Structure 1
Amino acid sequence: MGKKRIGVLLSGCGVFDGSEIHEAVLTLLYIDQKGAAAVCMAPDISQVHVINHLTRKEMKENRNVLVESARIARGDIKNLKDVSAVDIDALIIPGGVGAVKNLSEFAAKGPEGSVNAEVLRLISETKAAGKPIGALCIAPATLGMALKDHGITVTIGNDKATISSIKATGTNHIVCTVDQIAVDEKHKIVTVPAYMLGPGIKDVAKGIEKLVDKIVEMA
């Protein structure tokens, strides 16, 4: 039997406009340590905007989500439209604001926003196939929007405004500490607060390792 294939859905490169790099790299590290294979992917779309991570101000330029995500994947990445649930045994979505800006409209429109069509397709396919899905940090908000008719249970930490918006999608929320994971056994959903709580890389690493372990076990 070959290695379990764990899809990693990226949303760019950088916490303020793409994937949170620490979360993405830790996810890839733990997948590899578990003897599984990461299948990185991202949608071939323009970022909502580009943020200067030094000044945290918007820059007047355009960047592509797939091209930027390829930085994290060291170039070994697939266009999301070319990936289906049959290609993976599980799916993990790292956080970073790109997860709710580029993968969905949660950051701009809250629970009234839409999910990118290809993101929605893959999440729906993976769920329908009975394969586990993990989401880190703020990414459970997009997952909740995509699966709003299923009543899944997630965590994004303890931010009351974000919790309220997530609940408005019909998603259940439980508060977890940074080193705890929320496991929805019924729906095979595993989530972790990561940098929604932080404060540092050693802290978020504990929860992310538990999430990856659980996802690989369930796959």
Structure 2
Amino acid sequence: MTAKVISMFNNKGGVGKTTIIWNLAVSIASMGHNTLLIDFDPQCNLSIATIGYEEFAEYLKESEKFPYGRTIRAYAQPYIYQMQINNIHLTQPKHKPDQQLEKPGNLDIVPGDFWLNKFADILTVGTDVVSGAGLYRFLVPLLLVNRLSDTFNKSYEYVLIDLPPSFNTLVRSALYCSDYFLVPCTPDLFSAYCIGLIGEVLPSFVKD
């Protein structure tokens, strides 16, 4: 089954993206659907909230066995440099869907990493996207999901991606890989302005 990839995005911060994506994931998994969360926000709020602060700190630690830690960096950094060895590390949130349901779905998360700030700097829209050179770097979220399916026999029905509040290259990458995106907002002038801004910027993504 092909996963539906959904990004949670708004250029404005403080609109509840992380809270909404977490509750949405739990709700979907509670209905029996295998669900994957990808924390693609360098702030890593989703990882800290769902895994726990101390536990997440352990995932960030580098060692001889885990030179890139046990976060999304362990897959993304070797991949973008076309190294042969790259690993994917999954964990489960502390608070899982209601286990009393007859057939609760599985809920996993790929922890984020502060290194994603550097990854955003590595991605180059002009050359990588328009000419096609290095376009593979923008497909990390989707290729990560495919790798889970091919290598670990992990099949997800829904993949939810949490994103930073900006129009940076991480957002562009996730939107390229998504079937849908949701834009949570608050009832204020700034949120309304950002929705209009998203409407102006997205056509350039589609054109690319």
TM-score normalized with structure 2 length: 0.34
- Tell which structure's C-alpha radius of gyration is larger: 2
Structure holding more helix per residue: 2
Structure holding more strand per residue: 1
TM-score normalized with structure 1 length: 0.33
